[in-house]
Structure 1
């Protein structure tokens, strides 16, 4: 288990609010994607970022509490494991101490030129291991 973490502060836009007065469920997926990609970009290094793309394969979301327009929200992306061309993330979305949503997701690494699945090099995976310490 790598447990490399990245906190991503979320900005809630008025357009994120649905007919019920809280953040629409679809927006949570955007937050997860932004947090995971920001984590990748922070640790992977510029050459790896240019050479690889990430696509989501699966999200499992548990919505615990609604989020509202003026809330301060942080999405913490936690890299659990890298296996072959897949990265397994857990993202915890919080408002203060309250967990608003908990998301488990699987991401596939693509070669940026061929758009085919590719494994990450050991040097890149090592950066994530080092950042977890």
Structure 2
């Protein structure tokens, strides 16, 4: 695969139950948002048949918190698929409020066959939908 990842913008609705005892978004909500954003990215760019035939489970999240988020904030997650190796996909998600980075997340996911729930490799043409081809 040669090309640049297509960024996917996922708007986040900060809900009252995201707010912790200190008045800002609880760290656990960021992980919920990343999961929602990555799945939405998959559903938006993959072919309908591939979406129906595959599920995703998170294997690892590495999150760096930069600034707190609050209830009325306008928050967006930008999702990039960095690479796919076998049944694993590696994502970068940046959560922002306007121009401010609130959190950066590196995550790895396992693609599963929806019927057998066993790891499954994606076809090259499916993976290619997540990248803009470069001219090299």
Which range, TM-score by smaller chain? Answer: over 0.9
Q: How does the TM-score come out when normalised to structure 2? A: 0.93
- Flag structure 2 segments of 5+ consecutive residues without an equivalent: none
1:82 matched to which residue of 2? Answer: 84
CA–CA separation in structure 1 for the residues paired with 2:85 and 2:95: 24
- Normalising by the residue count of structure 1, what TM-score does the alignment of the two structures yield? 0.95
Q: Which runs of 5+ in 1 are unaligned?
A: none
8 Å CA contact retained: 1:77, 1:89: yes
Is the contact made by 2:5 and 2:132 (CA closer than 8 Å) also made in structure 1?
no
Q: Distance in 2 between matches of 1:77 and 1:101?
A: 12
Q: Provide the secondary structure at the position in 1 that maps to 2:23.
A: coil
- For the 8 Å contact 2:62–2:106, the answer to whether it is kept is yes
Give yes or no for the alignment of 1:60 onto 2:62: yes
C-alpha RMSD of the superposition? 1.6
1:72 equivalent in alignment to 2:70: no
Cα distance in 2 for residues equivalent to 1:43 and 1:9: 16
2:52 maps to which of 50, 53, 63: 50
Task: After superposition, give the CA deviation of every residue in 1:25-71 in whole Å (9 maximum; x if it has no partner).
Answer: 00000110111111100110110000000000000000000000000
Aligned length: 133
Structure number with higher helix proportion: 1
Question: Displacement of 1:103 after TM fit?
Answer: 0.2
